[in-house]
Amino acid sequence: MNCDCLTEIKAKLLEYVTRPKYFKKPVKRLELSGITMLLQDNKFVTRTCSQVEVELEGQKKKETFPMVHSFCPYCGKSQGDKA
C-alpha cells in the first residue's frame, strides 16, 4: 500500500479496545480482516479487499470471492498501478 492507514487504524483500535471499560479480560491480539497479499511484478504487495457474497437461485450455499480495492478505502490514495 502507498499509505500507512492500516498501521494507524490498527494502533488506534488497539488503544481503544484496551480501555478498561471495553473488555473485562486483557486484549491478547488485534488483527484487521480484509487485507490480502498479491504478487505484482515479482513482489508481494499488501492490498485491502472486501468479501463479496452472491446468492444464487436454488442454491443454499452463498458463493464468495474477494474484491481487491485499487484505492485505500480510508484515505483514497492509489494502492498501485495494478491491483
pLDDT at 10: 92
User: What are the residue ranges of helices labelled H in the chain?
Assistant: 5-17
38 grid coordinates: 498479491
Beta strands in the chain (DSSP E): 35-40, 43-54, 63-68
pLDDT at 83: 40
Cα 66 to Cα 63: distance, rounded to the nearest angstrom: 11
Please say if the pLDDT value at position 54 is more than 50.
yes
Please say if the pLDDT value at position 44 is more than 80.
yes
5 grid coordinates: 492507514
Residue 64 CA from chain centroid, whole number: 16
Q: What's this model's pTM, rounded to 2 decimal places?
A: 0.68
Please say if the pLDDT value at position 67 is more than 60.
yes
Find the mean pLDDT for residues 20-36.
86
